[in-house]
Structure 1
Amino acid sequence: MSYGHRRKQYRGADEYDNDRRREVYDTPEQKLRKSIINLGEVDPVQELPRLAKQIREQVPLSVPAISEGFRIGVTEQPFKIPFYAALLRLLYDPDPDTPDQSSSTDASPLGRQILEDYWKGFQAFLDKLAWREIRLCIHFFAHLTVAKLISPDSMFEVLKAFTAVLEEFGASHGRAMKAAQCAAEGLMMSGSAIKQDPATDVSQIIDAISSYIDSVTVSKTLVQPIVRLYGESPLVEHADELLDSALAALKVLNESDFAQTADNIPQPYADFPALPDEPFDLPSILVPPEVIELDGLTTDTGEDAQVKKEEWPQYFVRLFDADITPDPTTPVGYALRSGILDLIDIFEVNRKECARLLLEFPKWQLPGTFKPRPGAPPQEPLPGKDWQLESTIIEAALGSVFLLPESAHKPVYYIALITELCKLSPTTVGPAVGKSIRKLYSFLADGLDVEVAHRFADWFSVHMSNFGFQWVWREWVPDISLSIGHPKRAFMRRAIEFEIRLSYYDRILKTLPEPMQAADAYVMPEEGPGPDYEYDDPAKPYYEAAQSVLNLMRGRTKAEDVVSHLDSLKNTLSETADGDVNVNAVLRSIAVQSLLNIGSRSFSHFLNAIERYLPLLRNLASGSIASNTGGSNVEARMDILDAVSSFWKRSKNMVVIVFDKLMQYQIVDPTDVVAWTFTHGGVHPAAGEKTTFNAFQWDVLKGALDKANGRVMIARRKVTALRKEEDDNAARVKASDSATASMEVDAEAKPAVMPAAESPALSTALKAFTTLTREQKAALSRTLDGFVSYLAAEDRLSSLAGDVITEKAWQNRANWDQPEWNTWETWCWYRHFSRTYSPYLRNYVNTLADAALTKVSSSSADPAADLFRKTWNIATGQEV
Structure 2
Amino acid sequence: MSYERPYNNRRRNRDDYERREAYETPEQKIRTAIIRLGEVDVIQEIPRVAKQIREQAVGSVPAISEGFRIGVTEQPYKIPYYANLLRLLHDHADGEQESSTSGSPSLGKQILEDFWKGFQAFLDKLSWRETRLCIHFFAHLTMAKVISVQSMLNLLQSFVAVLDEFGVSHGRAKRAGLCAAEGLMIAGKTLKEASVTDVIDIINAIQIYVESAASSKRLVQPVAQFHAELDSLENADELLESALAVLKALNSTDFAESVNSYPQPYVDLPDLPDGAAVFELPSVLVPPEIIELDGLSADTGEEAQVKKEEWPEYYIRLFDNEVTPDPVSAAGYAVRSALLDIVEIFEVNRKECARLLLEYPKWTLPGTFKPRPGAPVDLQPEPVPGKNWQLESTLMEIVLGALFVLPESTYKAIYYIGLITEICKLSPSTVGPAVGKSIRKLYASLADGLDVEVSRRFAEWFAIHMSNFGFQWVWKEWVPDLSLAQQHPKRGFARRAVEFEIRLAYHERIAKTLPEAFQAEGAHVLPEHAPGPDFEYDEPSNPHHNAAQSVLNLFKGRAKAEDVLAHLESLKTTIGETADGDVNVDAVIRSVAVQSLLNIGSRSFSHFLNAIERYLPVLRSLATGGLEAKTDILTAVSLFWNRNRQMIAIVFDKLMQYQIVDPTDVVGWTFTNGVGNERGDSEGPSAINAHDWDLLKGALDKANGRVLVARKKVTALRKEEDDTRARAKASGGDVTSMEVDTETKLDEPPESAALTTAVKAFTSLTSQQKTALARALDGFIACLAPLSSDRRANPHAHEVLTEKAWHNRANWSDEEWNAWETWGWYRHFCRAYSPYLRNYSTTLGTVSLKKFEGSTDPAALQIMKLWSVATGEEA
In 1, Cα distance between the equivalents of 2:630 and 2:680?
27
| Residue among 861, 864, 867 paired with 1:866 | 861
Tell me the CA shift for residue 124 of structure 1.
0.8
Matches of 2:308 and 2:9, distance apart in 1: 57
CA distance in 2, matches of 1:59, 1:372: 40
Distance 1:382 1:749, change over 3 A: closer
Q: Is the 8 A contact 1:317 1:402 kept in 2?
A: yes
1:820 is matched with 816
- One-letter identity of the residue aligned with 1:321: D
By how many angstroms is 1:3 displaced? 14
Match of 2:234 in 1: 237
Query: Aligned partners of 2:382 and 2:680: how far apart in 1?
Result: 61
- Which of 134, 138, 153 is equivalent to 2:135? 138
Map 1:662-677; keep pairs closer than 5 Å: 662-677=655-670
- Call closer, same or farther: CA 1:126–1:746 in 2, change over 3 Å: closer
Matched, 1:722 2:717: yes
Shift of 1:278: 2.8
The aligned counterpart of 1:617 is: 619
1:691 is displaced (CA, Å) by 4.7
Give the partner amino acid of 1:164: A
Secondary structure of 1:270's partner? helix
* Mean Cα deviation higher: 298-307 or 404-413: 298-307
2:874 corresponds to 1:876: no
- Choose from 672, 678, 683 the match for 1:679: 672
Q: Tell me the residue number matched to 1:81.
A: 79
Q: How does 1:612-651 map to 2 (within 5 A)?
A: 612-623=614-625, 633-651=626-644
Within-5 A mapping of 1:27-46? 27-46=25-44
Tell me how far 1:61 sits from its aligned partner: 3.1
Question: Are 1:798 and 1:864, in contact at CA under 8 Å, matched by a contact in 2?
Answer: no
Q: Deviations over 1:469-499 (max 9, x none)?
A: 0000000000000000100000000000000
- How many Å apart are 1:273 and its aligned residue? 1.3
Give the 3 Å change call, closer, same or farther, for CA 671–300 of structure 1 in structure 2: same
Task: Report the Cα distance in structure 1 between the residues aligned to 2:757 and 2:580, rounded to whole angstroms.
Answer: 48
Residue 69 (structure 1) aligns with: 67
Instruction: Check the 8 A contact 2:688/2:818 in 1, yes or no.
Output: yes
Residue identity in the other structure for 2:804: K
3-state SS of the aligned residue for 2:114? helix
1:234, CA displacement in angstroms?
5.5
Letter in 2 for 1:435: K
Q: 2:696 aligns with which of 698, 701, 715?
A: 701
- Which sits farther off after the overlay, 639-648 or 12-21? 12-21
Is the CA contact 1:741–1:747 (under 8 Å) kept in the aligned structure 2?
Answer: no
- What's the secondary structure of 2:471's corresponding residue? coil
Farther off after superposition, 133-142 or 197-206: 197-206
Letter in 2 for 1:702: K
CA contact (8 A) 1:153 1:199 kept: no
How far, CA to CA, are the matches of 2:207 and 2:112 in structure 1? 32
- AA of the residue aligned to 2:687: T
For the 8 Å contact 1:301–1:843, the answer to whether it is kept is: no
Matches within 5 A, 1:578-617: 578-617=580-619
- Taking the aligned partners of 1:357 and 1:741, their CA distance within structure 2 comes to 67
Amino acid at match of 2:410: A
- Structure 2 residue identity aligned to 1:719: V
Whether the 8 Å CA contact 1:637–1:668 is kept in 2: the answer is yes
Q: 2:514 aligns with which of 512, 515, 521?
A: 512
* Alignment of 1:441 onto 2:435: no
Matches within 5 A, 1:745-824: 752-795=745-788, 799-824=795-820
1: CA distance between counterparts of 2:696 and 2:245? Answer: 39
SS in structure 2 at match of 1:240: strand
Distance change (3 Å), C-alpha of 1:605 and 1:270: same
- Could you tell me which amino acid in structure 2 is paired with residue 395 of structure 1? E
Question: Shift in Å at residue 860 of structure 1?
Answer: 1.6
Does the alignment pair 1:264 with 2:281?
no
1:749 Cα shift?
Answer: 11
1:845 match: 841
- What letter matches 1:387 in structure 2? W
TM-aligned CA distance change 1:843 to 1:100, over 3 Å: closer
Shift in alpha-carbon separation, 1:222–1:308, aligned structure 2, 3 A: same
Partner of 1:110: 107
Cα distance in 1, alignment partners of residues 363 and 536 from structure 2: 63
- Kept in 2, the 8 Å contact 1:394–1:418? The answer is yes
Look up the equivalent residue of 1:252 and give its one-letter code.
Answer: A
> Residue in 2 aligned with 1:180?
177
Are residues 745 and 154 of structure 1, via their aligned partners in 2, closer, same or farther at CA, if it must alter by over 3 Å?
Answer: closer
- Please report how far the alpha carbon of residue 119 of structure 1 lies from its aligned counterpart in structure 2 after TM superposition: 0.9
Task: Name stretches of at least 5 consecutive residues in structure 2 with no aligned partner.
Answer: none
What's the CA shift for 1:692?
1.0
Q: Which residue of 1 aligns with 2:397?
A: 395
- Shift of residue 104, structure 1, vs aligned partner: 6.9
Number of residues of Structure 1 aligned to a counterpart in Structure 2: 865
Q: Which AA in structure 1 matches 2:649?
A: V
1:424-467 CA-partner distances (Å, limit 9, x unpaired): 00011111010000000000010000000000000000000000
The partner residue of 2:465 within 463, 466, 469 is 463
Bigger shift: 234-243 or 572-581?
234-243
Q: Does structure 2 conserve the Cα–Cα contact (< 8 Å) formed by 1:253 and 1:261?
A: yes
Look up the equivalent residue of 1:539 and give its one-letter code. Answer: S
Distance 2:182 2:640 in 1: 56
Q: Match for residue 357 of structure 1?
A: 356
Q: TM-score, normalised by structure 2?
A: 0.96
Offset of 1:379 from its aligned partner? 2.2
What does residue range 281-296 of structure 1 map to in structure 2 within 5 Å?
281-295=280-294
User: 1:185 is paired with a residue of what secondary structure?
Assistant: helix
For the aligned residues, what is the CA RMSD?
2.3
1:851 to partner: Cα distance: 2.0
Q: Output the amino acid matched with 1:722.
A: L
Question: Could you tell me the TM-score, scaled by structure 1's length?
Answer: 0.95
What do the CA deviations read for 1:515-545 (whole angstroms, capped 9, x no partner)?
1110111110111101111111112121111
State how far apart, in whole Å, the 2-side matches of 1:103 and 1:768 are.
70
| Whole-angstrom CA distance in 1 between matches of 2:62 and 2:421 | 40
Answer yes or no: is the 8 Å Cα contact 1:37–1:69 preserved in 2.
yes
Q: After superposition, where does 1:427-576 map in structure 2 within 5 Å?
A: 427-576=429-578
Could you list the per-position Cα deviations for residues 730-762 of structure 1 after superposition, in whole angstroms to 9, with x for gaps in the alignment? 111111123x447x9999999542211111000
Amino acid at match of 1:530: G
Q: Classify the secondary structure of the residue corresponding to 1:599.
A: helix
User: How far is 1:157 from its partner?
Assistant: 1.1
AA aligned opposite 1:842 = R
Q: How does 1:189-338 map to 2 (within 5 A)?
A: 189-198=186-195, 200-233=197-230, 235-275=232-272, 276=274, 277-295=276-294, 297-300=296-299, 304-338=303-337
Contact 2:148 2:279 in 1 (8 A): yes
Q: Which amino acid aligns with 2:710?
A: A
Distance across 1 between alignment mates of 2:678 and 2:530: 14
Asked if 2 retains the 8 angstrom alpha-carbon contact of 1:522 and 1:685, the reply is no
Dislocated runs of 4+, deviation >6 Å = 6-12, 686-689, 744-750
Aligned counterpart for 2:649 among listed residues 640, 656, 677: 656
SS at match of 1:622: helix
Counterpart contact for 1:305–1:843, Cα < 8 Å: no
How many Å separate the matches in 2 of 1:583 and 1:284?
A: 77
| Secondary structure, aligned partner of 2:237 | strand
* Paired position in structure 2 for 1:630: none
Query: Could you list the per-position Cα deviations for residues 356-377 of structure 1 after superposition, in whole angstroms to 9, with x for gaps in the alignment?
Result: 0000000100111101112223
- CA 1:580–1:750: 2 relative to 1, 3 Å: closer
**What amino acid is aligned across from residue 236 of structure 2 in structure 1?**
A
Task: Tell whether the 8 Å contact from 2:447 to 2:489 is kept in structure 1 after alignment.
Answer: yes
Are 1:733 and 2:708 matched, yes or no?
no
Structure 1 counterpart SS, 2:859: helix
The 3 A distance-change label for structure 1 pair 750 and 741 is farther
Letter in 1 for 2:814: Q
Is the CA contact 2:298–2:767 (under 8 Å) kept in the aligned structure 1? no
Identity score, percent: 64
| SS state at 1:316 partner | strand
Distance 1:822 1:746, change over 3 A: closer
